[in-house]
Amino acid sequence: MSVNVEFGPDGRHGIVAEGTYLWDAAKRLGLRLPAECEGRGECDGCAVIIKEGTPLLSELTNAERERLSAERLALGERLACQAKIERPGNLKLEPVPVEDREETVEETKFELREEFRNLPLQKKLTTLVELEAIAAYQTFKAISDLSSSAFEKGLDVIAGFGRARERRARQSHRPAEHRAENQEGKQA
Ligand code: FES
């Protein structure tokens, strides 16, 4: 038995088999939903709104209950990587717009790239200088953090050597019989 799936808002549609996850159904129809967590139910990039055919889908998973608020669930949202089509019929759905879900890293990068591309040349140069200054500061900070911890470790090692040398020196200044006692104590 097959399922007729229609993805809004552009109305692309097609037939998929029962047992198909919504994410795969979207892919089959040429729509690649974001999957930042690779389908583990840990992001909400693949969220879709079910417009028709909710009873065709599997029960909500724990991941969906955790990731989607009660309000979003009430609106009919599902995570496409978690919801499986279990029964035949007609299904209408659409991706949750990016304004209503967390932006993925890729989307943020794309947006920043676009923003940068549209800056006037002077502003682009100023931004680059600022970014370079931030990068230089972060690099300097990372190096100084690293070197201070390496420096502290070095001090510990030197202090350890110093303490051992002092101990040996103290032992060599002890009365001979005590040294002998110490030797016996060590051997006992
Ligand atoms: S891909 Fe992350 S929740 Fe679906």
Candidate of 43, 48, 77, 101 to mutate for ligand 1, largest count of ligand atoms within 8 Å of Cβ: 43
My answer on whether 15 and 91 are in the same domain is yes
pLDDT in tens, 95-131: 999 888 888 888 887 878 888 888 888 888 888 888 8
- The H or E element containing residue 158 is helix 121-173
| Percent over 70 (pLDDT), the chain | 86
Domain of 65, CATH number, reads: 3.10.20.30
Burial of 3 (0-12, 13-18, 19+ CB in 10 A): buried
**Nearest-atom index, ligand 1, CA of 33:** 1
Residue 108 lies in a domain: no
My answer on whether 39 and 99 are in the same domain is yes
Residue numbers of the domain that contains 126: 119-187
Residue 154 lies in a domain: yes
Measured CA angle at 95 (ends 89, 101), to 5 deg:
140
Tell me if 46 CB under 6 Å of ligand 1: yes
Q: How much is the average pLDDT of 75-101?
A: 95
My answer on whether 18 and 66 are in the same domain is yes
The two tokens of residue 129 are 């200088």
Q: Is residue 141 over pLDDT 90?
A: no
Q: How much is the average pLDDT of 145-165?
A: 74
Tell me if 96 CB under 6 Å of ligand 1: no
Residue 76: the pLDDT is 96
Residue 102: the pLDDT is 84
**Least confident piece of the model among 19-33, 96-110, 169-183:** 169-183
Residue 112 lies in a domain: no
Q: Find, among 16, 32, 160, the residue nearest to 86 by Cα.
A: 16
Domain boundary among 36, 68, 103: 103
Instruction: State how many domains the chain has.
Output: 2
Question: pLDDT confidence of 47, banded at 50, 70, 90?
Answer: very high
My answer on whether 16 and 89 are in the same domain is yes
Report how far ligand 1's centroid is from the alpha carbon of 71 (Å). 18
pLDDT in tens, 58-80: 999 999 999 999 999 999 999 99
Tell me if 29 CB under 6 Å of ligand 1: no
Buried b (16+ CB within 10 A) or exposed e, 74-87: eeebbbbbbbbbee
The two tokens of residue 99 are 């304004």
Domain boundary among 103, 132, 160: 103
My answer on whether 128 and 85 are in the same domain is no
State the helix-helix crossing angle for 121-173 and 176-187, rounded to 10 degrees: 110
Mean pLDDT of the chain: 85
Domain boundary among 103, 134, 162: 103
**Nearest-atom index, ligand 1, CA of 35:** 1
My answer on whether 40 and 125 are in the same domain is no
